[in-house]
Amino acid sequence: MKKIVLFTLLFFISFVASAQLADNSSSETSSFRSFKRALRVFPNPATEYFQLADKNDLVDQINIYNIVGKKMKTFKVVDDKKYYLNQFPKGMYLVQLVSSKNKVISTQRLNVKKP
């Protein structure tokens, strides 16, 4: 009998907690999606260069890492600038977007293809 009561109580608590998370996550998910659209690296895949779409001007620096985590290059962000990839061989890279306070805002994948 104690097991049944305990199971019912835990089930009820988990149900209430998941309902509250669902209510909170829907607004957080929509704001995250709008943030993600406002901050992106394009074109992807890139052949010669990539650009940064940063509608809120949050990014101060771009760090490029190869897939094993070695830092390949750092760019200082300038509006509407093209960041050229001449020295990069084809492959997958991680683009780390960093704020002026040296805080990582986002890390995105970038596929570099050569013609």
Query: 97 lies in a domain?
Result: yes
Report the distance separating Cα 50 and Cα 16, nearest Å: 46
Mean pLDDT, the chain, rounded, equals 81
pLDDT at 43 over 80: yes
Give a yes or no: residue 16 inside a domain.
no
pLDDT tens-digit readout, 56-110:
889 999 999 999 999 999 999 998 899 999 999 999 999 999 999 999 999 999 9
Q: Is residue 62 part of a domain?
A: yes
Whole-prediction pTM: 0.68
pLDDT > 90 in the chain, percent: 60
pLDDT digits (tens, 9 = 90+) for 4-41: 655 554 545 554 445 454 455 455 555 545 555 679 99
| Count of the separate structural domains present in the chain | 1
For residue 111, is pLDDT > 70?
yes
- Residue 30 inside a domain? The answer is no
Decide if 12 is inside a domain: no
Query: Would residue 26 count as lying in a domain?
Result: no
What CATH number is associated with residue 94?
2.60.40
Burial 25-59 (b: 16+ CB within 10 A, else e): eeeeeeeeeeeeeebbbeeeebeeebebebeeebb
